[in-house]
Chain A
Amino acid sequence: MKLDDEEQDILAGKAGPVPQQALQHQIKVGDFFHAKDFVPVTQAHIMADTESLGEAGVQWLEGLAATTEGQHRVRIPTITDPRGTDFAKAEWLGQTKGMVDLERRAIVAFEKLGVAMTNTCINYQTIQPPTRGEHTAFGDTGVVIYANSVCGARSNFEGGPSALSAGLTGRTPRYGFHLPGQRRATLRIQVDYTPTTLNGWGGLGGVIGRLAGNYWAVPVIEGIEGAPRSDQLKHFGASMASFGSIALFHLVGLTPEASKLSDVAADDLPVHRVSRADVEALQKSYHTDDTVDVVVFSAPQLSLYELSDLAALCDGRKFAVPMLAVTSPQVKPDSDRMGYTGRIEAAGGSVLSGMCFYQSYAREISEARGWKRLATNSAKLVNILGGYGYRPMLASMEACVDAAVSGKMVRT
Chain B
Amino acid sequence: MSKIFKARHAMGPVVRGPALVASDGFSARYDLDRIKGIFSRPAHKLAGQSYVGKILVLDTAKGGVATAWMLHEMKSRGIVPLALVLNSVNPILAQGAALGDVAMLAGFDEDITSAVPDGAEVEVNPAEGCLKVT
Which of A's residues lie within 8 Å of B, judged by CB?
A: 25, 28-29, 31-34, 47-49, 51-57, 60, 139-141, 156-162, 175-176, 213-216, 241-242, 244-245, 247, 358-359, 363, 383-384, 386-389
> 13 A–B contact pairs at CB < 8 A?
A29-B91, A29-B98, A52-B73, A54-B70, A57-B69, A57-B72, A157-B91, A159-B96, A161-B99, A215-B60, A242-B64, A384-B29, A387-B31
A residues less than 8 Å from B68 (CB atoms) = 47, 52, 159-162
Contacts A159-B67, A387-B40 given: A245-B62 contact, CB under 8 Å?
A: yes
B14 within 8 A of A: no
Contact B91 A159 (CB under 8 A): yes
Residue of A57, A161, A358, A386 touching B95 (CB-CB under 8 A): A161
Contact B61 A214 (CB under 8 A): yes
Which of chain B's residues 93-118 have a Cβ closer than 8 Å to chain A? Answer: 94-96, 98-99, 104
Contact B90 A215 (CB under 8 A): yes
A interface footprint on B34-68 (CB within 8 Å = 1, 0 otherwise)? 00000011111000000000000000111111111
Question: Whose C-beta in chain A lies nearest to the C-beta of B39?
Answer: A387
B30 within 8 A of A: yes
Report how far A388 CA is from B34 CA in the complex, Å. Answer: 10
The secondary structure that dominates the A interface is helix
Report how far A383 CA is from B63 CA in the complex, Å. Answer: 9
Question: Could you say which interface size class chain B belongs to?
Answer: 35 or more
Tell me the smallest distance from the CB of A61 to a CB of chain B, in Å. Answer: 10
Contacts A56-B73, A57-B69 given: A384-B63 contact, CB under 8 Å?
A: yes
A interface footprint on B1-40 (CB within 8 Å = 1, 0 otherwise)? 0000000011100000000000001010111110000001
B134 within 8 A of A: no
Residue of B10, B43, B95 touching A162 (CB-CB under 8 A): B95
B residues less than 8 Å from A216 (CB atoms) = 88
Question: Whose C-beta in chain A lies nearest to the C-beta of B59?
Answer: A214
Question: Whose C-beta in chain A lies nearest to the C-beta of B66?
Answer: A52
